[in-house]
Amino acid sequence: MKDVHQEVKSLRELSALHQISKSMQTLDLEEILHLILEGVTRVIGFDRTRLYLIDEQKKELECKMAMGIEREKIKDIRLPLDEKNSMVARSVMEKKSFNIENALTDSRVNKNLKELFGLKSFAVVPILGRDRVLGAITADNLFTDRIITPEKFESLITFANQAGLALENAKMYDELKSFNTQLEEKIKIATRKLRKTQDKLIQSEKMAALGKLSAGIAHEIKNPLTSIKLLVHSLAKEIQHNEIAKKDIEVIENEIERVNQIINRFFDFARPKEPEFSSVDINQVLEEIIALISGEIKEWSIIIEKEFLPLSFIQADKGQIKQVFLNLFLNAIQVMPNGGKVKVGTRQEDKHIQIEIQDEGEGIAEDIKNKLFEPFFTTKEEGIGLGLSIVKRIIEDHKGWIRIDNAKPKGAIVTIAFPCIDNKKNESIKN
């Protein structure tokens, strides 16, 4: 009778386990861990179960989850993968299951764990995947004091094997997922890089073609322009008594000069000259430029505030550097039609010198921030949009860099840096 009873119980247990094994087809790691614990405690019938997984990188066993034990207690349990340290490690290393009858006298049992969990008798079985060990399960009956029968021990081993396969699938799936994400990320980065290079290539090809075409046109314009200039000049002499015509001629001459300047600037852009380097004192160059535009500054009610700190000399083409500052000052002046202050500062930064030009204009709108240095980009009615692209090219030819940001409380601030050649410093100038 007892046998039949036992048989029915085993059958029930078997079908419940079968049910759980079926549920373990899920690929969610957490869910599987939970199902394993449930299978061991509720179905096979243990009071407490702990589940350890191998942390491959750290070569440790981490207690991932438990049932019948507070979460707090297992939170930091990590066991070294050393069979002498614990029965859990031994079970994993030797791929063997153990039914420890008396933990108190068994010297192989880890002392700390013995104390922490009040271990008396317990079973430990490895969780085996297809060709690797994944971890181990320990189970005991501390509260009910039931002994672990050979049948229960067998059930635990069989179940752990099933669990191992499910766990392995989930782990593989997890690894595959992370591999996939990594791969996707790599592809994204590569595509982004490719697109950038392609854009640059298209841009530089476009620029080269455009440059050639417009250089040709500019050249064609320059010749007749020179003739017109000469003719207008002699015409002016002939009609010097006609006041109205004289005024008109003056306008014509000014306009010719404007076209001439535009073409010259264009040549600067389309056919850059190789810089002719010499030792240059940037503070000195800035002084010269400020003197040059002083007339313009007065007219526009603009104040220049200087703070020039001692600087090392730099290797530079003085003419080109002047062109850089002239363009930047003009930009600053043009954004303050009602006057304002331009702050100019220089300082030494280790092996670089740094120059800042800050205005009180409207600053730079977010949507044009990355277009500023594009050739022919302008927001001005009379602009050509070449200033900053020439500036950038010259600075880069000098192995320096330029950045334009919005200043506080208003306006734009242009920062330029040039590498310096020696430690000789000039005087500081302040106004």
141 contact choice in Mg ion, ligand ATP, none (CB below 5 to 8 Å, kind-dependent): none
Residue number, 126 or 361, with CB nearest to ligand ATP: 361
Q: Enumerate residues 340-379 that contact ligand ATP by CB under 6 A.
A: 359, 361, 364, 372, 377-379
Q: Enumerate residues 122-181 that contact ligand ATP by CB under 6 A.
A: none
378 contact choice in ligand ATP, Mg ion, none (CB below 5 to 8 Å, kind-dependent): ligand ATP
Q: Which of 92, 321, 335, 407 binds ligand ATP (CB under 6 A)?
A: 335
Q: Which span sits near Mg ion by CB under 5 A: 18-26, 138-146, 357-365, 380-388?
A: 380-388
SS (H, E, C) the chain: CHHHHHHHHHHHHHHHHHHHHHHCCCCCHHHHHHHHHHHHHHHHHCCEEEEEEEECCCCEEEEEEEECCCHHHHCCCEEECCCCCCHHHHHHHHCCCEEECCCCCCCCCCHHHHHHHCCCCEEEEEEECCCCEEEEEEEECCCCCCCCCHHHHHHHHHHHHHHHHHHHHHHHHHHHHHHHHHHHHHHHHHHHHHHHHHHHHHHHHHHHHHHHHHHHHHHHHHHHHHHHHHHHHHHHHHCCCCHHHHHHHHHHHHHHHHHHHHHHHHHHHHCCCCCCCEEECHHHHHHHHHHHCHHHHHHCCEEEEEEECCCECEEECHHHHHHHHHHHHHHHHHCCCCCEEEEEEEEEECCEEEEEEECCCCCCCHHHCCCCCCCCCCCCCCCCCCHHHHHHHHHHHCCCEEEEEECCCCCEEEEEEEECCCCCECCCEEC
Residue number, 55 or 356, with CB nearest to ligand ATP: 356
Cβ–Cβ < 8 Å for 288, 322: yes
Q: For residue 126, state whether it binds Mg ion (rule: CB under 5 A).
A: no
Q: How far is the CB of 407 from ligand ATP (least distance, A)?
A: 9
* Count of residues engaged in binding ligand ATP, rule: CB under 6 A: 20
Q: Which span sits near Mg ion by CB under 5 A: 161-169, 206-214, 309-317, 324-332?
A: 324-332
Q: Which span sits near Mg ion by CB under 5 A: 131-139, 143-151, 211-219, 326-334?
A: 326-334
Q: Which span sits near Mg ion by CB under 5 A: 78-86, 113-121, 289-297, 323-331?
A: 323-331
Q: For residue 387, state whether it binds Mg ion (rule: CB under 5 A).
A: yes
Q: Which span sits near Mg ion by CB under 5 A: 305-313, 315-323, 385-393, 412-420?
A: 385-393
Residue number, 289 or 388, with CB nearest to ligand ATP: 388
Q: For residue 336, state whether it binds ligand ATP (rule: CB under 6 A).
A: no
111 contact choice in Mg ion, ligand ATP, none (CB below 5 to 8 Å, kind-dependent): none
372 contact choice in ligand ATP, Mg ion, none (CB below 5 to 8 Å, kind-dependent): ligand ATP
Q: For residue 383, state whether it binds ligand ATP (rule: CB under 6 A).
A: yes
Q: For residue 388, state whether it binds ligand ATP (rule: CB under 6 A).
A: yes
**Contacts to ligand ATP by CB under 6 A:** 327, 331-332, 335, 359, 361, 364, 372, 377-380, 383-389, 412
**Contacts to Mg ion by CB under 5 A:** 331, 387
